[in-house]
Structure 1
Amino acid sequence: MVIRGLPRGLARDAWWFGADEGGGGTLRAGDGAGEGGAGRGRGLALLLLLLLGDLLFFGHPPGLSLALYAVAIFAVAAAFRRPGAPLLGPALVVIAGALPVVEYAQFLALLFLVAGLLAGIVWMHRGPGAGMPAAMVALLGRVPTAGPRALGTAWQGALRRSGKGSAARAWLRAWAVPLGGVLILITLLADANPILAGWLDGLLRFQPDLGVILRRTLLWSGLGLIVWPLLDPAPLVLTEKARSPRAQLPGLNPQSVSLALVLFNLVLGVQTVLDLAILWAGGSLPDGMSHAEYAHRGAYPLLATALLAGAFALAARPWLEERPALMPLMALWLGQNVLLCLSALLRLWLYVEAFGLTYLRLYAAIWMALVAAGLVLTFWQIRQRRANSWLILRAAALGVGTLYLCTFINFGSLIAAHNLAQGANRDSFYLCELGETAAAELVYADVPCALDIPETYGWRDWGFRKWRISRSLQAQRYGAGL
């Protein structure tokens, strides 16, 4: 007898349907017959991935091994995809996410690796769409619980199918006292029986390295918890929430937006004129204030002002559609804030010229450029009457794309090269703190500090950036005759 349409969860858990007592017929429940085989296949795949993880990571620093392991996880997950599911697109996403780790193993590169792997698996199982980010978060949220839950379910099912739960309790009741008594007797007789004592000494001399066993257990457990949900993802179907009516901030109305735009532009115009006179036209500063101090005091407040400008533009957008005459004022408002971002960049550049380049100052410059680009996008969104989702998607793509490109740039080398070119103004202590990524520039300039030379101990921790730095150092030593 065949029952069509039985839920998969019931087909998987209803193990008693398969019992064939007294020669009766076997009840097949939908596609549940293949569920056990798929589960066993995933279990074997998990074991192979754990063995591969032990080979790649145990006792070895991470590097190229991270990218190889992510590709292996995706390849195994692809073996269990549904027929006709996309493969090429998800595979390219996984490879793109792994490239930053191949360049240099760092935290940001690891984030892109995880994001690329999650995106590839979600795309493969549910197809591309607007719900992919939420599905990726849902899949990531299953990592802590999916493995233990599947293990507990499998163990309980095995006990039910074999009927060994009650048998195990009966075995313990029958053998607990005899075995315990035998162990006690062996311990007492060891002193009187030299042969037995010799056997026990031989057993005790076999002492495995408990530290290695513990580290391997932790590695395998951690990998199992992470990998299993990726091999057996839950149905990634997200229900769309009902759209709530547009929320309006208190205090915003056509009249208040009009007055705010006029007053904001006037106040910002004063700042814009001062910046043009001092920064761009070379005007004089107040007595006792240097250009470096002027730049340091104004860079970050101007950036905060630009961010608030973008938020106000989005909040005021509904009334711009009602009053088209406000559009020129909004364009002037956003344009002045873009000019503020450029002025903040110039202030930052003046400060860097006086005191040198650092990671924080370089990141601040990138952030200022992103804010300026975001303000331009905001104006274009308002002018073209695009939805807020249009702006959010493109702003997110701009930010993620910038971060992705940053993973391929050796900022330590750039900072060292710039500061070394400043000559007497260079900060030797900060240069020594840049680490191994600036080793080639520091060795070439003969900076007196203990350098961390990048070392590669094998193919597992190989990285393209470390390889380039090592080649540069070797070329310098060869040219110096060392």
Structure 2
Amino acid sequence: MARTARFTFLCKIAAAIAIIAAMDRLFFDGAAGSWIGGFALAWIGALLATRPALRRRPSLVALAIAAGFAIVLAQDPGGLGWALFWSALSIAALMPRIGRFDDAWRWSLRLAAHGLSGPLAPVLDLIRLARLPQRRAGHSPAGLAGLLALPLAMTALFVALFASANPIIAQAFTRVRLPGFAELLFWAMLLALVWPSLRPTRWATRAAALLPRPEIARPGIPAPSLLLSLLLFNLVFAIQNGLDLAFLWSGAPLPGGVTLADYAHRGAYPLIATALLAGLFVLAALKPGSASAANPAIRRLVVLWVAQNLFLVASSILRTLDYVAAYSLTGFRIAALAWMGLVAIGLALICWRMLRGRSAAWLINANALMAALVLSATSIVDLEASAAAWNVRHARETGGRGVELDLCYLAQTGPSSLLALVALERRPLPPAFRDRVRHVRGLVMADLARRQAGWRSWTWRGRYRLETARRLLGPNPPIAAPASPGTERDCGGTIRPIAVEQPAPMAGPATAPTGDAIANAVANATPPLTGAPSR
């Protein structure tokens, strides 16, 4: 048994060295490409090979989810996809000590402890290795170090002396490149990332035991006070929702000095904060099974209030959509709309929990599942590409009802906007605007071609975009007209004169010097022709 454990430990060391060596070779110039997905799959394979405990069903389910995110990273690597992959992989690594998925609240703490204790895991295992009892003479780590100290030190001394005496040996040593500090630091960071998945610390699983049960203690609110609070809340929310119905949903004219864009934009995020506060109030004040939660009048008022909050969230979504129509769509605004949808789902789950008497753990798990699904979809879909396609379809230049197309934004999004720019260029456009679109498309396409040329920055999604663009534009894509001398193009492709910096004015009087003043200055500045040399 001890020999098997020792062999398994050595296999984990070999797997960690192999992963670090591969990552050091792949991440040579800092380029992130589809190879990250292959690296993630290799990491999963290393865990399955060195940890037999992960071959049981709960861990295999988590590893299958991690493999799905690895495929997402192979298609188009991103920070969100990597975070989701690491979370699924860490759950699989910790699962043998837990045995089941209990609740998201405890797993969030386990993942946090697992990540924070990662840098300490190799150090703790090294200390344990040094403290192993000596089974036979010289076979413990401390005894082995003492055994090798003298031979290695004397051998190194002799090699140094021979290198100073023999130029051939010295020349061979000059070809040896020792790792620098930055490379050693990178290896240490990789070890702190990989080793905890091979040998997770016990802190990561014991930290959740310190948590109380995920039940929120209900404050002592008397039923009459709670009933009055809900009545007033419903009245205030009815006024706000009535104003939204009158001006936002029906399109009635606003009072003087208030524009629809201002009315729509100012209320989007404060109303979401209001809905969140309402949900926390219901969650804290109405514990399932309590006397207040069983009161029919209170239950009806809570359901009415949650319904008003859902309408409030719908109004916030409509405000954001109106703002998008007045300006443009961005990836951040798509994420904001997804967040508003999550808030609405959370409110509905809070109400369902009260009506059905569900536990707080059920509520946390349900919300965590919804958030995980939304984040997973976000890691797969390119939000910036979706925003670029929407802006092109609804732009004023293409006959849509939107605002003027912001070509600078499309240029900043890079390869995400390439196919949208190609579709825009193929439409009937005014010649000047087509030339601007062609210039921006050429820059974005050249940047993507440069990335795809190197295998480290090559991605499946980039290959699809580049091949699609080349197929639609033909073998010789048209190029924009060159800027004339003295002009340049801005980020949106508009040709403008080159800004020339004016020289800074010289200090002195504002009036021009007279001829006598110039002559006196020259005479005073001329060095003497005789006598001591001027210094």
TM score, norm. by length of structure 1 = 0.79
Of 460, 464, 467 in structure 1, the residue corresponding to residue 460 of structure 2 is: 464
The residue type equivalent to 2:396 in the other structure is G
> What displacement does 1:275 show?
0.9
Preserved contact between residue 82 and residue 125 of structure 1 (Cα < 8 Å)? no
Match of 1:144 among 73, 94, 119: 119
Gaps of 5+ in 1: 1-30, 191-195
AA partner of residue 258 (structure 2): M
TM-superposed CA distance for 1:303, in Å, is 1.3
| Contact 2:129-2:141 within 8 A present in 1 as well | no
1:432 to 411, 423, 433: 411
Say which SS state the counterpart of residue 456 (structure 1) adopts.
helix
Describe the superposition over 1:129-160 as per-residue Cα deviations: whole angstroms up to 9, x where unpaired: 21554444443333111112323443565784
Q: Return the alpha-carbon distance in structure 2 between the equivalents of residues 202 and 438 of structure 1.
A: 53
Residue from 371, 376, 380 that aligns with 2:348: 376
Alpha-carbon displacement from aligned partner over 1:154-195 (angstroms, at most 9, x marks no partner):
3565784573566677789x979x969x96xx99xx9xxxxx
Query: Counterpart of 1:299 in structure 2: which amino acid?
Result: A
Letter in 2 for 1:423: R
Amino acid at match of 2:276: L
Structure-2 separation of matches of 1:242 and 1:118: 23
| Corresponding residue for residue 517 of structure 2 | none
Partner of 2:42: 72
Asked if 1:110 corresponds to 2:82, the answer is yes
Is the contact made by 2:118 and 2:192 (CA closer than 8 Å) also made in structure 1? yes
Determine the structure 1 residue equivalent to 2:527. Answer: none
Q: Distance in 2 between matches of 1:298 and 1:161?
A: 66
| Whole-Å separation in 2 of the counterparts to 1:442 and 1:122 | 46
Distance in 1 between residues matched to 2:422 and 2:6, nearest whole Å = 61
Q: Which residue pairs with 1:127 in the alignment? A: 99
- Per-residue CA deviation, residues 381-436 of structure 1 (Å, 9 max, x unaligned), is 11111112211111111112111101121222222222223225222322322222
Relative to structure 1, is the Cα distance of residues 64 and 287 closer, same or farther in structure 2, using a 3 angstrom cutoff?
same
Please name the residue that 1:16 is paired with: none
Q: Secondary structure at the match of 1:433?
A: helix
How much does 1:34 deviate?
3.1
Distance in 1 between residues matched to 2:369 and 2:54, nearest whole Å: 31
Matched residue count: 437
Q: Which residue of 2 aligns with 1:278?
A: 247
Moved more, 440-449 or 368-377: 440-449
In 2, are the aligned partners of 1:97 and 1:114 still within 8 Å (CA)? no
Q: CA deviation at 1:213?
A: 5.2
1:257 Cα deviation after fit: 1.1
Contact persistence 1:98–1:112 (CA under 8 A):
no
CA contact (8 A) 2:44 2:67 kept: no
1:326 aligns with 2:298: yes
Kindly indicate whether residue 231 of structure 2 is the aligned counterpart of residue 256 of structure 1.
Answer: no
Are 2:448 and 1:453 aligned?
Answer: yes
The 8 Å contact of residues 57 and 65 in structure 1, kept in 2 or not, is answered as no
For residues 13-92 of structure 1, the aligned pairs below 5 Å read: 31-59=1-29, 61-79=31-49, 80-82=51-53, 85-86=56-57, 88-92=60-64
The equivalent of 1:6 in structure 2 is: none
Tell me by how many angstroms 1:261 deviates: 0.5
Mapped contact 1:96–1:116 kept (Cα < 8 A): no
CA contact (8 A) 1:90 1:124 kept: no
The amino acid across from 2:143 in the alignment is G
- 1:228 corresponding residue in structure 2: 195
- Which stretch of structure 1 is more off in the superposition, 36-45 or 237-246? 237-246
The answer (yes or no) to whether the contact 2:286–2:292 under 8 Å persists in 1 is yes
**Residue type of the partner of 1:223?**
L
TM-score (norm. length: structure 2): 0.72
**Bigger shift: 224-233 or 150-159?**
150-159
In structure 2, do the counterparts of structure 1 residues 328 and 457 end up closer, same or farther at CA, with 3 Å as the change threshold? same
CA distance in 2, matches of 1:244, 1:112: 24
Q: Which has the higher contact order (CA 8 A, sep 6+)?
A: 1
Gaps of 5+ in 2: 133-137, 398-403, 426-436, 479-535
Deviations 1:7-47 (A, max 9, x none): xxxxxxxxxxxxxxxxxxxxxxxx43433222222222323
Q: 1:262, CA displacement in angstroms?
A: 0.5
Cross-structure match for 1:398: 370
